[in-house]
């Protein structure tokens, strides 16, 4: 009887992987998922997707910047990604006179394409299993590894990656890099050989009324009607090698680019997606699920709501502020809605119980097979989560409420500290250099996207909420001034900071640098004291929390080892960690609640239904309305004459998949992933087959906007379209 029960538990654990669940490693597809993909509609060979010895679809997919995905769609290095992935670059090029956020941007010649310092795209040349190599290195270096952290250390893994290929190889191959990453909490290791290009130019972006249509109201929502795309181009030197920006650089001739299909797809058709998903927590224990819901997400939801309301009021009142704070606001709301959706899913499907059942599978198997280390690992995880709870809450409150919530909390103080030392030692040379750095620090702080009055108003709001929820003795030390000098009046406290600080205004700064500089003024400057105190509290909390990190990492690694030994190394997919993955599924709608059904496809009809000229999130341009009224959709319309905009699929995605190419069974590009539905964000912890959907821009809408709306037909001409 016991044996039968245990068998049922193990079957449940492995079978709990839905057919559409998973973020799979490309080089393991043949062993893991290729047969199932073929049954669902894949028409390609496994080596058409990943081929270490030749060109494959993998070579047309890039990591865009540090946190998005893009795809190469022409033989001239044209890259397609999301509007929100290129939002920072569009914003940087925008002014009141040339507002590309509001009006869009289209380079009609390559000479008009705009460079973006600091932006990179990364190709993955090769993926290798180096588990044996890493474990040999760890054994070799165990005497140096006094804290037992090398097995997850990026620095250590980087050093042995370089040692494996040789520094000479990297030196002789411009733009090439290697990285070893741990998987399953350090039970497997793969090495990625990369080619990184740094001359990436903005080619085209629709206006935000298309690229961000619905903005924050529609974020994480379905039905969706957003043309969330942007075009860039990769440039190389004349030999095709990565090179810093130069007018002499030429468009990259890539190894592979994607063919585009305008034939469309029907509900239940097979689709697949390749991208760089960022972070998932498939292997959370039940205690970590509760911690995520009750501390991390609860704090984030509340503190971001307070900040966003204050920020939005200022943005709506001033067009200049709207430009300055658009990216900050968007970045804040993204994680805010994610946290809300995750908590909803945790409670709806009782993720605590789901993870508890998974733990019990391991515990029962460990008992049967005399593996006490797995039981001990789970006990240790439970103990640590309980013991770190108060510190974790304080850290989340400080991070969300003050560090992220109050801009002047992050004012740079390095130059001020150096100038204090220089003034006290009467070193004229250092005084001059430190003063120059102080001016540079101010300009970095009060940059073009900073508004002093907005910072004051938002800062007051955030400090009131923080001091209300955090007991006085657990606040940063300088916050005692709020009570001792201002009788708890936060408004007066913030006004005092800006009035007295040399960084409180341009006038204050100039008065200080042009007068008799005084070290005591810098030491007692209220904004600097505020920032120093916040930093001190942050470092104190991090230090105290870090004491849990190593034993927690070891316990989790042991627990994951138990899962892999129990089920087999190829039975599961590793949690996302910004490495290249493939996910697949079907085009499919869903039922979010009783008596409601969402179809898988939206059209331009929905854009017009949502139009609200008095709401900046739902403004529709006159040109788009004219194209709609005249049904000037060209070859991009559906068979019934409507213009497709977005669709949904059951693919398993997360942050980092933004911009990922969505392909049909032939490997042809049919859409660009840009979001998930609100009901599905809990899939970062546990996939929800009934609810989880990727939200995707239909490639036909992308082409329609480029062609009919923007008139950038030269870009259409360089693509391969079927």
For the stretch 593-622, pLDDT in tens is: 899 999 999 999 999 999 999 888 999 999
Query: 3-class SS at 637?
Result: coil
Q: Please identify every residue annotated as catalytic.
A: 84, 228, 658
Identify whether the C-beta of residue 123 lies closer than 8 Å to the C-beta of residue 59.
Answer: yes
At 1 the pLDDT is: 33
**Residues with Cβ < 8 Å from 286, sequence gap 6 or more?**
351, 352, 353, 355, 356, 359
Identify whether the C-beta of residue 681 lies closer than 8 Å to the C-beta of residue 652.
Answer: no
Identify whether the C-beta of residue 373 lies closer than 8 Å to the C-beta of residue 558.
Answer: yes
Both structure tokens of 13: 């654990």
- Mean pLDDT score, 640-667: 97
**Is the preceding peptide bond at 223 cis, omega within 30 degrees of 0?**
yes
Using the structure block, give the residue that is written with the tokens 């009035």.
Answer: 499
Side-chain-facing half-sphere of 639: CA atoms under 13 Å: 4
Q: Where are the domains of the chain?
A: 7-120+198-281+573-717, 402-546
Which pLDDT tens digit goes with each residue over 253-287? Answer: 999 999 999 998 899 999 999 999 999 999 999 99
Ramachandran bin of 599, using left for φ above 0, alpha for ψ from -120 to 50, beta for the remaining angles: beta
Both structure tokens of 380: 């240790």
Average pLDDT, the chain: 94
Identify whether the C-beta of residue 405 lies closer than 8 Å to the C-beta of residue 462.
Answer: yes
At 96 the pLDDT is: 87
Q: Please, which pLDDT band fits residue 100 given cuts at 50, 70 and 90?
A: very high
Q: Please, which pLDDT band fits residue 18 given cuts at 50, 70 and 90?
A: low
Residue 6 pLDDT more than 80? no
Identify whether the C-beta of residue 552 lies closer than 8 Å to the C-beta of residue 526.
Answer: no
Which pLDDT tens digit goes with each residue over 132-162? Answer: 999 999 999 999 998 899 999 999 999 999 9
At 332 the pLDDT is: 87
Q: Which residues is 202 bridged to in the sheet? A: 114, 232
Identify whether the C-beta of residue 716 lies closer than 8 Å to the C-beta of residue 698.
Answer: no
Other residues' Cβ atoms within 10 Å of the Cβ of residue 157: 23
**For 618, which DSSP code?**
G
Q: Which residues is 176 bridged to in the sheet? A: 195
Rg of the chain over CA atoms, in angstroms? 27
Both structure tokens of 72: 């190469």
Q: Please, which pLDDT band fits residue 164 given cuts at 50, 70 and 90?
A: very high
Helix or strand (DSSP H, E) at 538: helix 526-546
Q: Could you give the angle at which helices 298-317 and 389-398 cross, rounded to 10 degrees?
A: 10
Which pLDDT tens digit goes with each residue over 468-509? Answer: 999 999 999 999 999 999 999 999 999 999 999 999 999 999
Both structure tokens of 231: 């075009």
Both structure tokens of 617: 């999130």
Query: What does pTM read for this prediction?
Result: 0.87
Q: Regarding the domain delimited by 7-120+198-281+573-717, which CATH topology (the fold level of the hierarchy) does it fall under?
A: Thrombin, subunit H (2.40.10)
Measured in degrees and rounded to the nearest 5, phi and psi for residue 535 equal -65, -45
Listed in sequence order, the DSSP H helices in 143-221 are 154-165, 167-172, 208-211, 215-218
Task: Round to whole Å and give the CA distance between 425 and 597.
Answer: 73
Query: 3-class SS at 78?
Result: strand
Q: Which residues is 124 bridged to in the sheet? A: 194
**For 721, which DSSP code?**
B
Measured in degrees and rounded to the nearest 5, phi and psi for residue 679 equal -70, -10
Task: Round to whole Å and give the CA distance between 71 and 50.
Answer: 15
Residue 2 pLDDT more than 50? no
- Mean pLDDT score, 431-440: 93
At 298 the pLDDT is: 98
Measured in degrees and rounded to the nearest 5, phi and psi for residue 460 equal -60, -45
The helix, strand and coil proportions of the chain, stated in percent and rounded to the nearest 5, come to 50, 15, 35
Task: Round to whole Å and give the CA distance between 98 and 349.
Answer: 48
């Amino acid at each position: 009887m016991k044996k039968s029960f245990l068998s049922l538990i193990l079957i449940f654990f492995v079978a709990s992987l839905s057919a559409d669940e998973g973020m799979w490693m490309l080089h393991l597809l043949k062993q893991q998922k290729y047969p199932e993909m073929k049954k669902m509609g894949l028409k390609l060979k496994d080596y058409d997707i990943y081929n270490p010895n030749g060109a494959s679809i993998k070579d047309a997919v890039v990591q865009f910047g540090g946190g998005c995905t893009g795809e190469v769609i022409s033989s001239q290095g044209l890259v397609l990604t999301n509007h929100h992935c290129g939002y920072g670059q569009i914003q940087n090029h925008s002014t009141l006179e040339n507002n590309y956020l509001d009006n869009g941007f289209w380079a009609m010649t390559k000479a008009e394409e705009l460079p973006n310092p600091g932006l990179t795209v990364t190709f993955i040349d090769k993926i290798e299993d180096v588990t044996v190599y890493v474990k040999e290195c760890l054994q070799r270096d165990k005497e140096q590894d006094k804290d037992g952290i090398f097995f997850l250390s990026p620095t250590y893994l980087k050093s042995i990656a370089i040692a494996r290929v040789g520094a000479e190889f990297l030196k002789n191959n411009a733009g090439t890099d290697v990285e070893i990453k741990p998987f399953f909490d350090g039970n497997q290791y793969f090495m990625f050989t990369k080619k990184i290009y740094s001359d990436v130019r903005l080619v085209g972006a629709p206006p935000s009324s298309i690229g961000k249509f619905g903005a924050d109201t529609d974020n994480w929502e379905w039905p969706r009607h957003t043309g969330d795309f942007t075009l860039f181009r990769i440039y190389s030197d004349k030999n095709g090698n990565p090179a810093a920006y130069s007018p002499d650089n030429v468009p990259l001739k890539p190894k592979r680019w994607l063919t585009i299909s305008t034939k469309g797809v029907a509900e239940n058709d097979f689709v697949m997606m390749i991208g760089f998903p960022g972070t998932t927590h498939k292997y959370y224990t039940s205690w970590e699920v509760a911690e995520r819901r009750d501390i991390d997400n609860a704090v984030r939801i509340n503190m971001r709501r307070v900040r966003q309301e204050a920020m939005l009021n200022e943005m709506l009142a001033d067009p200049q502020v709207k430009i300055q704070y658009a990216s900050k606001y968007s970045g804040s709301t993204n994680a805010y809605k994610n946290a809300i959706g995750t908590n909803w899913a945790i409670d709806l499907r009782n993720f605590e119980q789901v993870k508890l059942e998974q733990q019990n599978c391991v515990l029962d198997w460990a008992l049967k097979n005399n593996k006490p280390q797995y039981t001990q690992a789970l006990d240790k995880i439970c103990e640590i989560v309980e013991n770190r709870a108060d510190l974790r809450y304080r850290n989340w409150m400080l991070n969300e409420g003050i560090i992220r919530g109050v801009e002047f909390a992050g004012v740079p103080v390095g130059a001020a500290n150096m100038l204090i030392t220089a003034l006290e030692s009467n070193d004229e040379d250092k005084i001059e250099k430190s003063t120059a750095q102080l001016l540079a620090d101010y300009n970095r702080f009060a940059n073009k996207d900073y508004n002093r009055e907005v910072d004051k108003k938002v800062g007051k709001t955030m400090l009131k909420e923080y001091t209300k929820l955090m007991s006085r003795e657990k606040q940063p030390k300088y916050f005692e001034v709020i009570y001792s000098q201002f009788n708890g009046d936060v408004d007066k406290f913030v006004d005092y900071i800006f009035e007295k600080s040399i960084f409180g205004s341009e006038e204050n700064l100039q008065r200080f640098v042009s007068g008799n500089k005084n070290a005591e003024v810098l030491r007692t400057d209220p904004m600097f004291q505020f920032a120093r105190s916040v930093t001190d509290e942050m470092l104190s909390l991090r230090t105290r929390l870090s004491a849990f990190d190593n034993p927690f990492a070891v316990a989790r690694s042991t627990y994951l080892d138990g899962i892999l030994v129990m089920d087999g190394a190829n039975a599961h997919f590793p949690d996302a960690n910004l490495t290249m993955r493939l996910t697949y599924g079907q085009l499919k709608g869903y039922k979010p609640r009783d008596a409601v059904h969402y179809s898988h496809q939206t059209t331009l009809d929905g854009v017009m239904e949502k139009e609200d000229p008095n709401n900046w999130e739902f403004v529709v341009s006159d040109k788009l309305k004219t194209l709609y009224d005249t049904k000037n959709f060209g070859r991009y319309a559906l068979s019934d004459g409507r213009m497709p905009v977005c669709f949904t699929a059951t693919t398993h995605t997360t942050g980092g998949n933004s911009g990922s190419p969505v392909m049909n069974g032939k490997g042809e590009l049919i859409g660009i992933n840009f979001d998930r539905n609100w009901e599905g964000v809990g899939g970062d912890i546990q996939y929800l087959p009934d609810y989880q959907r990727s939200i995707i821009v239909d490639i036909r809408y992308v082409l329609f906007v480029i062609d009919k709306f923007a008139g950038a037909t030269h870009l259409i001409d360089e693509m391969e379209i079927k």
